[in-house]
Amino acid sequence: MPQPAEAAFFDLDNTMVRGASLYYLARGLHARHFFSRRELQLFARRSLHFALRGENLGHLVEVRELALALVAGHRTADLRAIGEEVYDEYVGAKVRPGTQALASRHLAAGVPVWLVTAAPVELADVIARRLGLTGALGTVAENVDGTYTGRLIGEPLHGEAKARAVRDLAARRGLDLARCAAYSDSANDLPLLSMVGQPVAVNPDATLRRHAAAHGWPVHEFRHWRTAARWTARLGTAGLAGAAAVSLVGLVQRRSGRP
């Protein structure tokens, strides 16, 4: 009998991408007159809190409800098209080269790589495809005849729900979770990290950092571009693209004066 397959699962916000992807989508929607500046400012405040302190379920629920209300009545095809533009305008520049190099190493070894996130699946699909990943799991908003209703199908992929989604995917695709890897920055993803054979903390919050140290999990810190550059240089051929991207990001940051 064939041996069960392995795969790698990557969280999105603050793991693969710096900051909150939903906020970048909100900026794109605001620029296209989906909602007001005041509503965008709400997204911005929650995004800043998220970037500084990590995920908070209460904030995620609040922003999710606002996002659902804002897209209600709009066409799913329109949101997917805007997702492509949002990637070009905001998200692509926020991809963490060190984390991308980790994913590239799995792909180079023939291992499928899935993005797993509480962000809308439409945006997750775009990001996964642009990064050359195998696919994405994300939060699914209900639509009727291609128009959003303002309700969800199932739960947001957060915490236990994210772990269940990965477990379901593993069952469908014949994956052996003991041979799989998972990467995240947040202690909220401990249910996912704890059920795979290769859990890895990336840019971890304080709780996840302590848990990783106590359990001997690898920890990668990519929140400073020089750290990412040193790490990707050690990856060899699989990390060359990521290292080049790190250098470009560093050049842009030095010229703009951003940290």
Would you say 21 and 119 are in contact if contact means Cβ atoms under 8 Å apart? yes
Select from 125, 157, 150 the least CA-distant residue to 57.
Answer: 157
Q: What does the pLDDT read at residue 198?
A: 97
pLDDT at 20: 84
Identify the pLDDT of residue 63: 58
Question: Is 13 in the active site?
Answer: yes
Higher pLDDT, residue 62 or 11: 11
Closest CA to 141 of 156, 129, 126: 156
Q: Measuring CA to CA, how many Å separate 187 from each of 13, 24, 235?
A: 13, 23, 27
Would you tell me how many other CB atoms lie within 10 Å of the CB of residue 80? 15
Residue 223: predicted pLDDT: 82
DSSP string for residues in 62-105: HHHHHHHHHHTTSBHHHHHHHHHHHIIIIIGGGB-HHHHHHHHH
Contacts of 137 (CB under 8 A, 6+ apart): 114, 115, 116, 117, 121, 124, 157, 162, 165, 166, 169
pLDDT value of residue 211? 98
**Domain boundaries defined on the chain:** 8-256
- Is the per-residue pLDDT at 230 higher than 80? no
Between 4-18, 124-138, 147-161, 210-224, the lowest mean confidence (pLDDT) is in 147-161
**Mean of the per-residue pLDDT values of the chain:** 80
In the prediction, which pLDDT does 31 show? Answer: 86
Mean pLDDT, rounded, for 152-167:
90
Per CATH, is 8-256 categorized as 3.30.479.30?
no
pLDDT top residue among 202 and 233: 202
135-144/147-153 β-pairing: antiparallel
Polymer length in residues for the chain: 259
What are residue 140's DSSP bridge partners? 153
Contacts of residue 16, Cβ cutoff 8 Å, sequence gap at least 6: 10, 95, 96, 99, 100, 103, 115, 127, 131
Per-residue model confidence (pLDDT) at position 42:
67
Residue 234: pLDDT over 80: no
Q: What is the pLDDT confidence band of residue 210, given thresholds at 50, 70 and 90?
A: very high
- Read off the pLDDT of residues 67-104 as tens digits, 9 standing for 90 and up: 676 677 888 898 889 999 999 999 999 999 999 999 99
pLDDT of 258 higher than 60: no
Q: How confident is the model at residue 141 (pLDDT cuts 50, 70, 90)?
A: confident
Pick the catalytic residue: 13, 185, 189, 205?
13
DSSP calls for 181-194: EEEES-GGGHHHHT
